[in-house]
Chain A
């Protein structure tokens, strides 16, 4: 039977409860919440309370209600206090809606009173006597600095490999990207680095940026003002929930048509059919990896019909042939529309053959996107995400999609925009990364091939979120075990003995691993030093959401135990590097590690983001509340920060000459190595996706009873006939295996899944889909996670934990 909370009453926040602005730190939408904290021995009454409503009466639909998941008891200034974190009705992003993630922020806080999140790290730890032992910051940071300084001075900074988040929210944000960025890109020039979810330090959307079109160029309200919503390789009801519910659905109810380009039927498609009416939804259920062919046919049709925006193209796009030739850093040429059409032209029938959809439907989509309405531009807003970002031929495919928006003048205008939907919030502020180069180092391969001697890992878990993960894990463990053995052998000796032992081991192929995280992650098993970090609301944190809305999410509780903000950990590493290098007699190099005398995260913010954006301070952001300000911030007037609703509204784009470029996105089939062979060899496409219930926070839900009760194992959606082929019933465990490796999942029967096309949840701590993904990447080292083929066999009947769970369709049915 389903998990029951067995809670029938909650404390009431008193009228004088402290109120803090909170931006949800899970997904990019960044919903506004209010955190209420109050003394342990105080409470409100039904009529006198912080909400200012009569709680003795039943609240109506959409009314204010504290669910049990919105409540906890946490430490604030060393004292236990009540905490309630509730969705903010006055925030324009979510208008009071909470998601299944954000509305659990309170219960996902570490509490020594209620016992939640006991997996959170309290102290730094060091590998000693065969286990990770808690220790002091001074001790841990000293060893990190001693080993790192020895390795980079005896060899070079190229021997230091860094995996680090680049996003906002959670443990990212402007404070923490600056702290880490200053350390690795200013004090050092580390080039062998990568980002949390991919094996290199690169943009996921190089082409749109090269074309002059930043990937977050609209405002969410554009979905409410548009004629057509085009959603490509994305499932926003699950992964940008309140963007879908609070902006896309109102747009659909205002009469917008909806086009989905997506090989599978998602809950988003179903919900759009309910909201817009089936006749107003066109689902182009294309073959895997064929998006670019479809976009090129759409563009060809739009050009042929004369539906292009001639004035916009003439005034705002490059006119003279090729602006950027194809080369090692540019997988396609960029230039005028005429130049692009030489590569992009594709007939409806040819695309229909490649994509497996009707030519008539492609023509219909082109009309919905571009056919003038009442003699004027048809407004079309385009949204895309991992389906093409982690898909086939990333650079050209995204370029081909942006081509359509440029050709129809749908960028920088009301009801337009061509934007990625995003994962985390953004919050990137670092010194230049130009030294990293393009293409950037394929860091996972570097480590697999024995490169690097020291590995600093910041809130990344390659075990769950990399490709070719089976091989990566084996080798990473083997190399780090060499250092563990050396440390064990040096036990009882001096610090100098220990450092010598570690340096000796890394010079023989070992890897010294420093893991900075909020929990003991899976890659953290290989760490020799673990540094305990905290996250937003345990510190002040600034980030911007998918419409560039910058907010300060305020600190309302203490960091757990002795954990610290990442920016202050980076400062601690820098200060120790300076001290150690000085002692080594390298005064000049040591001096590069000065400038970290920060005592709070605000100091890091002022040292970084504020220097580039002097109008923006914590006090001003606090005043702007949960609606914040849309970046870029262009002024401060009448006590308010002034932002920008849409980018490029003046028709000038982000290139040297302000003219946008089209992409010569010639279709070339499977781009990444090994994909075509794998598709031919194995029976099942193992697509991957996310589930709203734990998207972006699955690692925090490993011990959450409500979540584990629903999905005790990572699921794989399969057509019932495919299940019959392998003799698997609902909830049975299967092994997914191919030449890259193997992983396991629980079968979820899904009649809408096409035969031979499965979907496994990505990033699960209990079954990494990355184990079976081959190492194939594009020219700029963007992984094609989405295209993996494997065989599937049953390994177990449904375990007891699975027996009681529901395997019914996830699709809402109107009754």
Chain B
């Protein structure tokens, strides 16, 4: 157990990723310890979403070099559902609608798939309902949202809160929040950030991917990385985010040019 704790949560070494023959990530390095929250900031088209998708194992991203190590294990070639079962969670920038499938049905299916994978027993209907009640109460989410079809007719804020709820239920060790702030007004942003903060724990690491600094007013990271042109260009503390807010990403454009 103590040996496991000493392991890095996530270690990315010299990662090169191509999409349709175009290289997007060009030698990215990143190291995240258990319990840490890192922010990845960068201009549009810098490869932020590619990074989140490639960690989660989406098809269509070709790793041409380097490795992604999650809790000591190389993720290369691992199916997305296996990565999920091992504790990787991606909160989507654009949560997907699944018409006709109630949120609870979806969550139960997901949770039990993960439990089966881990060799834990499935939760029966009663246990599941009890657990859901606790989670929704904790996050201040209405029961109504559970009955509705997954993300169908949800407002932008509701969709993101639903992502946070899923995270709370599936209890990952590494959560990647991909542009969670996009499309949210300030009130919705606060609510989502509050939910995320409740889920911080020494066992869980988080990767916050964002274009703007404002989310980091509410979710305070341990480290901030600037991703531009497919590489981490600079790493600093939370003050780096403020600096970017002031100066923008222009400096990194020049650096690469």
Q: Do chains A and B stick together as partners?
A: no
